Chains A and B, each alone.
Chain A
Amino acid sequence: MVNAVPLSWVLIVAAGLFSIGLFGALSRRNTVGILMGVELMLNAVNINLLAFWRYLQPADATGLVFALIVITVAAAEAAVGLAMVIAIYRTRLTINADEVDTLKG
């Protein structure tokens, strides 16, 4: 992998994945779709972390530890986020982000 693929190619793939996730998080009306976009962005960050670990610090476990912590936080975020989606749906019978506008002035 290190000899065959330059580091910048992996970074470009991760940047593309992050941009796609950002587009999904900004443009979806469905709250679950927004969460999916956020998951894509976190995945891109993880690919970036692992690429830097593999190419620059392969003998050290620090990059792996960092990626594992990111996965843990992503799991916690998904659990709380989806619980909030279910709570919002129960009270308002919709989960479209533009229809949940009680805080809008």
Chain B
Amino acid sequence: MIAEFGFGILVVSLIVTVYSGIAAVYGVLNKSAGLVESARRAQLLTFPLLTLSSIVLIYLLTNNRFEVSFVYEVTSRSMPTYLQVTAWWGGQAGSLLFWSWLLAVFTSAVTLRKWDRDIEFLPWVIVVSAITLAFFLGMIVFFENPFTRFWLVDGNVVPSMFAPSATATVFTPQDGQGLNPLLRHPGMIIHPPMLYLGFVAYVVPFAFAIAALITGRTDDRWTRITRRWSLWAWLFLTLGLVLGGRWAYDVLGWGGYWGWDPVEIAAFMPWLTGTALLHSTMIQEKRGMLKHWNMILVILTYALVVFGTFLTRSGVLSSVHSFANSPIGPFFMGFVTLTLVSSIALLIKRWPELQSENEMKSMLSREALFLLNNLLFMSILVICFWGVIYPLISELFTGQKVTVGPPYYERATGPLFAGLLFLMAVAPLSAWGHSTLQTLGRAIWKSTLAAAVVTIFLTITYTQNIYALVGFFLVALVLFTTGHEFWRGASARQKSQGENFFAALTRLMGRNRRRYGGYIIHISMALMAIGILGIEIFQKETQGTLAEGESLNIANYTVTYRELASWNSPGEGVNYTRSVVDIYENGVYLGQLAPRIDYYYDAEQNMTIPGQRSTFRDDLYILLVDWQPVSSIGATFKIYVNPLVNWLWIGSIVFLFGIIFAAWPEKDPAEVSVRRKSARDNRQASAAD
């Protein structure tokens, strides 16, 4: 009964969503404010409806209602309640509902904003979000219904929403299959919601962009309204990626955080366009240029978000056959293609109205360097997209299955990432409008010198690897130039205001949140780059089978196998095999680590939990690969030394700080920008608010 109720609400939500879209179009074409208002309210209604439907699903999940096939697939009796709740997004059907619920949250929040100055956008924003929501709800209702139940028909178990025949009875399995153990990790509990928050939040800027195209209001208003949305979307997307990396590092047991897997790349691609967008909208706001390009970027980001949602959950890219066999594959591709084509058509129609208000004056101006940054991001995107798609093309045309793996991506993107680091160092020093080699050189020579000194120092003390040294030089250059920017601004303020240095620095940053938040993010990216360089270039590994008391040596470390125990934990449905090893560095005892293998009975799957010792210099990362169950005399260990990888996580914390700093609500951004544009005239007005 309760499952039917949940499904019924989904159907109602779909109808309400479709109505809101149609009413909005009809209302705007017939200039009926009443209909548009009705559409807005219908849109608002989707939020409580989908919340209710989600509550029903969570109720089913937490009450072991295994007659519901989704519940059977993702939970089991032995799973703790919090995992049963988060199993909501542990499978395709549930995560599509989660996606839709988030979209309802966001669009409701958007429709509740003050619209007085932008009322012409409202109906079209509703239309775009309604189309998106209707598409996802349609997928759920018709193909991936989380409320489908098992029925017993003539001795066969059949999944179906409603009774397939008059004699059919509901079939309830004893226990569920349980969530994939790999997903029962704190990182995996937060990683998908973060990623999805990022994905879904990008629908909002897209909706405004399309509204701007349709209404012909082609100034930078849409970017100003959605600037904070884009920033939060970017925050969540980045966090989702980083948390996913951390999860892989802790759980997947291959000593790394990123494997250039199509699923990872699917989440990375909207990040690339989103990051490019973040930079190029600034050009539009400051200089009134690149309006076409920003439209293209926001359209691409939206398409990649839908594409990514589809890829991450369906696994259809593994082969042409799984794509063709998946019921939702063709629909998703159809939807992506349709939105892409219609958005681009709209853009072409408005093309002449989106002319630049300014001319590009110098190839070294800030806007020119931002364009170069965009070129690099787009290049990385092309490499990623092609790498993900090519195996399908190969299979389709030649029947040959191929793998496009890390060597391809690393070789192709490495120089581009280096280029991005270089731009990160240089671009903040160039001026809007006009810069010359001379002005840039004067601004950067001290930092370059300092970075060179650091590099020489590293050459002597740490490494002679040329790639690493180039990377470290660029990282140091970013850190020095960015640090110098902070110092220059603060000391100028210190002089003029007579404040002490720290007061000057905090006030300066507080007044230019976006700019200094951006600088903090640049610093965080440089720190992350240290970690990436460390693990990519200097990772060491060894593997061996040891008897108790025997050791393996790697880098300066010695790892000695002490003991191993294996026991069942019936309550959790897990068998633990825990080994204990002593670790020494240059003969000095450091302590013990306990790599283990957890075997989950319900899912019949192993999970490898590494023993980790993390320092700023390197991580010692030990995996228990195998053991002899009977005698426990021999155990096989795989040991990695991952230099500097900790900086990746430190960088992500700095990143979090930087982006929250930048996105922290201050006065209405439109208000501030207006004020900045003509600071003199508006002084009194701005002082008042």
Q: Do A and B come from one complex?
A: no
Chain A interfacial positions (CB closer than 8 Å to B): none
Chain B interfacial positions (CB closer than 8 Å to A): none
